[in-house]
Structure 1
Amino acid sequence: MACTLVLWPFNKNLYRKINSYLAYSWWCHFTFLGQWWSGSECELYIDPSDLPYISNEHALVIMNHKYDIDWLMGWIIIERFGMLGGSKIYGKRNLMYIPILGWIWYLTESIFLKRHWSEDQKTLIHDVQQLTEFPERYWVTILLFCEGTRFTEEKHKISMEVADQKGLPRLRHHLLPRTKGFVLSLQAMKGKIPVIYDCTVGFRKDAAEPTLMNILNGRTCRAEMHVRRIPVEEIPYEDEEACSVWLHNLYQYKDKIFHEFTIKGRFEGLQKHKVPRRYWDLSIWIGWAVVLCTPLILYTMKIIREGSHLSNLLLLVAAFALTYVATRWSMGLSDIKKGSSYGKMK
Structure 2
Amino acid sequence: MLLSLVLHSYSMRYLLPGVVLLGTAPTYVLAWGVLRLLSACLPARFYQRMDDRLYCVYQNMVLFFFENYTGVQILLYGDLPKNKENIIYLANHQSTVDWIVTDMLAIRQNALGHVRYVLKDGLKWLPLYGFYLSQMYLVIFPEGTRYNPERTEVLLASQTFAAQQGLPVLKHVLTPRIKATHVAFDSMKDYLDAIYDVTVIYEGKHDKGQRKAAPTMTEFLCKECPKIHIHIDRIDKKDVPEEEAYMRRWLQERFEIKDKLLLEFYDSPDPERRDRFPGKSVHSKLSLKKTLPSVLVLSGLTVGMLMTEAGRKLYVNTWIYGTLLGCLVVVIKA
TM-score (norm 2): 0.71
* Correspondence for 1:251 among 255, 258, 271: 255
Kindly provide the CA deviation profile for residues 46-77 of structure 1, in whole angstroms up to 9, marking residues without a partner as x. 24xx5433x2x111110100233122122122
Residue 256 of structure 1 and its aligned partner are, at CA, apart by: 0.5
* Correspondence for 2:244 among 234, 240, 248: 240
Distance 1:148 1:220, change over 3 A: closer
* Correspondence for 1:110 among 132, 136, 157: 136
The residue that corresponds to 2:36 in the other structure is 5
Distance 1:226 1:294, change over 3 A: same
Q: Which amino acid aligns with 2:282?
A: H
The secondary structure found in structure 1 opposite 2:62 is helix
1:215 matched to 2:220 = yes
Listed as ranges, the matches of 1:269-280 within 5 Å are: 270-278=279-287, 279-280=289-290
Cα pair 2:193 2:237 within 8 Å, conserved: yes
Cα pair 2:88 2:139 within 8 Å, conserved: yes
The secondary structure found in structure 1 opposite 2:173 is coil
Residues in 2 aligned to 1:29 and 1:223: alpha-carbon distance in whole angstroms: 19
The residue that corresponds to 1:52 in the other structure is 82
Listed as ranges, the matches of 1:73-92 within 5 Å are: 73-92=101-120
The residue that corresponds to 1:308 in the other structure is none
Q: Which amino acid aligns with 1:90?
A: V
The secondary structure found in structure 1 opposite 2:118 is strand
Cα pair 2:94 2:214 within 8 Å, conserved: no
* Correspondence for 1:267 among 261, 264, 277: 277
The secondary structure found in structure 1 opposite 2:106 is helix
Residues in 2 aligned to 1:230 and 1:8: alpha-carbon distance in whole angstroms: 39
Residues in 2 aligned to 1:90 and 1:183: alpha-carbon distance in whole angstroms: 12
Residues in 2 aligned to 1:295 and 1:8: alpha-carbon distance in whole angstroms: 26
Residues in 1 aligned to 2:262 and 2:248: alpha-carbon distance in whole angstroms: 21
1:291 matched to 2:301 = yes
- % identical aligned pairs: 24
The structure 1 segments of at least 4 consecutive aligned residues displaced by more than 4 Å after TM superposition are 206-209
Q: Which runs of 5+ in 2 are unaligned?
A: 1-31, 207-212, 268-273, 320-334
Residues in 2 aligned to 1:209 and 1:150: alpha-carbon distance in whole angstroms: 9
* Correspondence for 1:18 among 40, 45, 50: 50
Residues in 2 aligned to 1:223 and 1:204: alpha-carbon distance in whole angstroms: 6
Q: Which amino acid aligns with 2:176?
A: P
Kindly provide the CA deviation profile for residues 233-270 of structure 1, in whole angstroms up to 9, marking residues without a partner as x. 01111x221111111011000111011112311001x3
Listed as ranges, the matches of 1:1-346 within 5 Å are: 1-6=32-37, 7=39, 11-47=43-79, 50-53=80-83, 55=84, 57-106=85-134, 109-111=135-137, 142-152=138-148, 153-205=152-204, 210-237=215-242, 239-263=243-267, 264-268=274-278, 270-278=279-287, 279-293=289-303
Residue 99 of structure 1 and its aligned partner are, at CA, apart by: 1.2
Q: Which amino acid aligns with 1:289?
A: S
Task: Choose 215-224 or 174-183, whichever is displaced more.
Answer: 215-224
Residue 218 of structure 1 and its aligned partner are, at CA, apart by: 4.9
Residues in 2 aligned to 1:167 and 1:84: alpha-carbon distance in whole angstroms: 40
Cα pair 2:91 2:200 within 8 Å, conserved: yes
Residues in 1 aligned to 2:62 and 2:275: alpha-carbon distance in whole angstroms: 26
Q: Which amino acid aligns with 1:155?
A: V
Kindly provide the CA deviation profile for residues 259-291 of structure 1, in whole angstroms up to 9, marking residues without a partner as x. 1112311001x3212233132221110222233
The secondary structure found in structure 2 opposite 1:43 is strand
Residues in 1 aligned to 2:118 and 2:226: alpha-carbon distance in whole angstroms: 25
Cα pair 1:33 1:215 within 8 Å, conserved: no
Cα pair 2:82 2:109 within 8 Å, conserved: no
Residue 155 of structure 1 and its aligned partner are, at CA, apart by: 1.2
Alpha carbon RMSD of aligned pairs, Å?
Answer: 2.7
Cα pair 2:73 2:285 within 8 Å, conserved: no
Q: Which runs of 5+ in 1 are unaligned?
A: 112-141, 300-314, 324-346
Distance 1:52 1:105, change over 3 A: same
| Number of matched pairs | 263
Task: Choose 24-33 or 167-176, whichever is displaced more.
Answer: 24-33
The secondary structure found in structure 2 opposite 1:60 is strand
Q: Which amino acid aligns with 1:147?
A: E
